[in-house]
A and B are shown apart, each in its own frame.
Chain A
Amino acid sequence: MSPQKILFSPVTRLSGLLSVELSLDNGIITEADVSSTMFRGFEYIMRNRHITDAVYLTQRICGICSTAHGAVASYLLDQLYDNDISENAQILRNIMFGADFLQNHIRHFYFFGLPDFVIMPNQPPFLNQNCSDCRLDDIDNRRLAGHYIDAIKAAEKSHQILALFGGKAPHQHSFVHGGVAVAPTADKINQALALIHDIRNFVQLYMMPDTELISRCYEDYFHIGETPGRFLSFGLFRFGNKNNQVLWKPGILNGCRLDQPQLDFIQEDISRAWFERSESTEQGEVRPAPRKPGAYSWTKAVLYRGQHYEGGPLARMTINGFYNGGTSTMDRIVARSLETLYITELVEEWLHELEPGEPPINQKKELVQDQALSVTDAMRGPLLHSTRLQGEQIERYDIITPTSWNFSPKDDYGNRGPAETALVGTEISAPEFKFVIPGRIIRSFDPCISCATHLFDHRTNTIDKILY
C-alpha cells in the first residue's frame, strides 16, 4: 500500500470543532496533524473589564467545564482581595465543582464515547454510525445502548445538584470570590443527598460494569493510543481558608520521577499555530494569523521544560496513586470512570459535612495585590488563569486550558503533542477502520476545543517562580 492521507473532519461527539489529518504508510499511522478550527480570542475579550467579572465571564469559555473556569477565577480573586474562605464555603465549592465533574464524565462516557464501542439504534442522531468493529454480543449491546437513556437522567441530576447551590448550569452563579452566596439549608442538603444517591447508584450499577465490559471486549486498546507517560496535574479540590490545601495532589510525572509543577518551566510555542508575534508592540504581542504558512491549528503548543505533557483523569489518578496502569486509550477511559466513582463518594461525604446555616460568603472590598495566578485541574486536565491589573481593571488575563496540553500541535522541533503521539504508530488494519480507531483514541482524551480558543503569551507573563 502506498502512503496515503486521511482527512478526518469533522471529528464528532466532542465539544467544539476538531479536524485531524493522518498519513498512513502500509496501514500504519506515520503522522498526525491535530487541528482545532475555531478561535474566539477570549483573552482579548477579558481586557479592560472589571476583575470581578472574571468569575462569570471566563465560564463562557467552556460550556461543559464552566465550573472549572469559575472555580479558578474565584481562587484568583481570593488572592487579589485576600479573602478568608470559611469551611462551609470550601465544602460547598467542592460539592458544586464535583457535581460538574460528574455531569462531564457521565456525558463523555455515554454520549460521546459509547457509540465508539456499541451499536446504537439506527435512527437519528445515530445514522451512519459505521461502527465496523463493534464486538459486544447482541444482549450486552442492547443493554449498554439502553444505558444511554439512563445516563441522560444521571447527568441531568448532577447538574441539578450544581443548580441547587449554584442557581443554574452551565455557568453557575453562587461560587464566587469570598465563598458561596447560597445558604446551605437542610432542605437543599437533603435534596442533594437524594440526587447523589441516585447518581452513585447509576455509576456503581451501570457505568463501572459498562466500563469493565468495554475494557474486556476491547482489551487491545490497552496497547493502542499510548503516550510516553509524561503526566501533569495542578491538583484538584481546594480546602483551607486560603485555598491552600489540595485534596488530590498536583504533580509532574516523567517516567518514574514525580515533582511539583513549577510555572517558570511552562512555555508556549506558536510555530505550528495560527499566531504570529507582532513586531510593532514592545512586548511582541501574539496576534492571530489565520493564513500563516505551515500552521495548522488554533491551539498553541504548551510545553513543560521543553516537553509535551498529558493531563486529565489518567494523569490525576496515576499521580495520586489511585491507578497503576498504562498510558493507553483504554487506560484513559478506565481512569475517567474510576474518578467518577470516587467523586460521587466525595460529594456525598461533603454533603454530610455541610453545616446548615447562613450563606458562607465574605468578600473583601480592597485589592491587596495587582497580579495573581491560580490553578486547578478541570475535568480534562490542568487549567491556569493569571492576571495583571491596573486598579480593578484587567490589563492582561492569560489562560492555559487542558486542550492546549493534550491537543498541542507540534512544537518548533517537530515534537508531537499527546493526542498526536497517541495516534502515530497505530495500525489501521482495514479501510473501514479509518475513522473508527482514530476516533476512539482521540475521544479518550475528552477533547474540548471551545477550551482552546484563546491566547497565552508567556513572554509577557509577569508571574513567575514556583506555583506551590
Chain B
Amino acid sequence: MEKNEFLQLCRDNSLAGNHKLSARILPVVREYLLDHSTDKLPVIWLETSDSGDNNIAFMNATYPYLNHVFTNMIDLIYSNTFMAAQGSDALLLLEDTVNHFRGRFTLVVEGAVPTKDRGIYNVIARTKNGPITALEAITRLGEAAQHVIAIGTCASFGGASSAAPNVTGSVGVSQVLEREVINVSGCPVNPDWFVGTLAHLLMYGKPELDEYNRPKLFYGFTVHHHCQRRSYFDKKDFAKQLGDIECMFSQGCSGPRTGSDCPYRQWINHVSWPVKVNTPCIGCTNPDFPDGSAPFFSPLPQKSKAEKDDNHKQPPMTEGEV
C-alpha cells in the first residue's frame, strides 16, 4: 500500500469512532511487518503434548531477557502461549506466515506428537473443516520450514509424554518428519540452550550437532564430566542420603550418562542446579528420559532400563568414567 492510500484510509475511518480504523489498518500493518521482518527469525511455535514447562523455561531467559529475544532475535508470530491474537484471528496468522515465509521460517515444537488413532489425542485447533491434529500441523509446517527446532525432551524424543505404557503412541518430532530436526532437549530446556541455539542460527548458521541432533555446544559433554563433585566420585566418597555434600551417584545420579552443561551453566540466572541442592541429576536431557532414569533415586546399575540395555535410544555411560 502506498503512503497516500494509507493516509486516505486513516482519514476515511478516523471519525467513525467504532474501532473500524484499527480493524482496517491492522491487516495492512500486519502485511507490512510480515514483509519487512526478515532480519530476525520468523518463528511459529507449536505447543503439542507436554506440560508447557518449556515455554515457562523460555520466560526465565536472562541476558537476553525475553523482551530482548522478541525485539532482537525472533519474530514470534504464532505461539499459543504468547500471541495476542485468538481464535480464527490466530489461525490466520499461522496461514499468513506459511504463505509469506515458506522456506524461511523456523518451526519450534514444544511437546511430543501422538501418532495413535491418527493423532487425535492432540488437536492444536478446531476449525469448521474439522480438527487440526498436532501430527497434521507438524507434518505440514515441518515441510515448509527452514529450520525445525524441537524444544524440550518431549519434542526431541517423546519424553514424559511417551513414557511407558505410552497409550497415545507419542513420539519425538524427528520421528514424524523426514528432515533434519535440531533437538534442544531437557525437562524443561535450560533457556540458555534454546536461546543459544537461536543465536547460533542467527549469527553463524546451523550449530554442530551430536549423535542425537543436539547442539554439541551445550550437550557435548556429560554432567559427570563437568560436575563440581567429581573429586568425591573419584575418591568413591558417596552421599549416604539426599542432602549430603558428597557424590550423588549413590542417590541415583544419572550424570555419567547425561549430556549437558548444567554443572557450570546452572539455572535461572545461573544460581543453581539439582546436584548443587544435594539431589541427583535425573538425566532429563536423555533420549530415554524418564523411563531410562527410573527409579530416579536408585544408583545407575539398578535402574530398570539400564539393566536391560535394549533401548536403541539409550545413551551409553561415558566411557572410562564408571
Instruction: List residues of chain A with CB under 8 Å of any chain B CB.
Output: 7-17, 19, 21, 35, 37-41, 44-45, 47-50, 52-53, 56-57, 60-64, 66, 103, 107, 111, 115, 120, 122-133, 148-149, 152-153, 155-156, 159-160, 162-171, 173-174, 176, 178-179, 181-183, 191, 288, 290-291, 298, 358-359, 361, 363, 432, 434-435, 439, 448, 450, 453
Contact = CB atoms under 8 A, between A and B. Distances in A.
Contacts of A359: 242-243, 278
Contacts of B49: 38, 40, 453
Contact of A168 (B83, B122, B273, B295): B273
A183 B272 CA distance: 13
A166 B277 contact: yes
B144 interface: no
Nearest to A434: B87
A50 B305 CA distance: 13
Contact of A12 (B90, B268, B271, B294): B90
A9 B76 contact: no
B167 interface: yes
Interface string B56-77: 1101111001110010001111
Nearest to B117: A290
A40 B162 CA distance: 8
Contact of A15 (B52, B76, B126, B243): B52
Contacts, number: 299
Contacts of A14: 80-81
A12 B125 CA distance: 10
Contacts of A128: 26, 30, 83-85, 89-90, 92-93
A7 B242 contact: no
A132 B21 CA distance: 11
Contacts of A298: 121
B209 interface: no
A311 B23 CA distance: 37
A283 B119 CA distance: 28
Given A17-B122, A52-B297, A127-B77, A8 B87 contact: yes
Given A7-B126, A19-B123, A160-B269, A13 B168 contact: no
B308 interface: no
B60 A35 contact: no
Contacts of B123: 17, 19, 37-38
A57 B160 contact: yes
Interface of B: 19, 22-23, 26, 29-30, 33, 37, 47-57, 59-62, 65-67, 70, 74-77, 79-93, 114, 117, 120-128, 131, 159-161, 163-165, 167-168, 170, 187-188, 241-243, 267-269, 271-279, 282, 284, 290, 294-298
Contact of B84 (A7, A44, A115, A178): A115
A17 B128 contact: no
Contacts of B67: 148-149, 152
Nearest to A169: B268
A7 B123 CA distance: 14
Q: Which 7 A-B pairs have the closest CB atoms?
A: A63-B53, A359-B243, A50-B295, A128-B85, A37-B123, A163-B268, A129-B84
A49 to B, nearest CB: 6
Contacts of B50: 63, 450
A41 B26 CA distance: 41
Contact of A162 (B23, B37, B126, B268): B268
A278 to B, nearest CB: 13
Contacts of B88: 7, 9
Contact of A169 (B91, B267, B297): B267
A358 to B, nearest CB: 8
A246 to B, nearest CB: 26
B51 to A, nearest CB: 4
Contacts of A179: 243
Contacts of B84: 12-13, 115, 120, 125-131
22 contacts: A7-B87, A7-B128, A9-B127, A12-B90, A16-B52, A17-B122, A17-B125, A50-B298, A52-B297, A57-B296, A62-B51, A63-B55, A115-B84, A122-B26, A124-B76, A127-B84, A128-B85, A164-B271, A171-B188, A179-B243, A290-B120, A290-B121
Contact of B52 (A21, A62, A124): A62
A60 B290 contact: yes
Contact of A64 (B52, B167, B268): B52
A181 B278 contact: yes
B178 to A, nearest CB: 25
A39 B168 contact: yes
A453 B163 CA distance: 14
A126 B19 contact: no
Contacts of B271: 160, 163-164, 191
A181 B279 contact: yes
A111 B267 CA distance: 22
Contacts of A64: 52-53, 56
B241 A363 contact: yes
Contacts of B127: 7, 9
Contacts of A122: 26, 29-30, 33
A38 B121 CA distance: 5
B53 A181 contact: no
B51 A435 contact: no
Contacts of A44: 165, 167
Given A37-B126, A176-B279, A182-B277, A111 B65 contact: no
Contact of A10 (B33, B125, B242, B276): B125
Contacts of B170: 40
Nearest to B152: A63
Contact of A56 (B30, B241, B278, B282): B282
Contacts of B77: 124-125, 127
A62 B187 CA distance: 11
Nearest to A12: B86
Contacts of A129: 26, 84-85
A54 to B, nearest CB: 10
A173 B80 contact: no
A156 B277 contact: no
A53 B272 CA distance: 22
Contact of B277 (A19, A127, A167): A167
Given A152-B66, A156-B65, 7 more contacts: A8-B86, A15-B52, A66-B51, A111-B81, A125-B77, A132-B19, A359-B243
A173 B188 contact: no
Contact of B70 (A37, A125, A167): A125
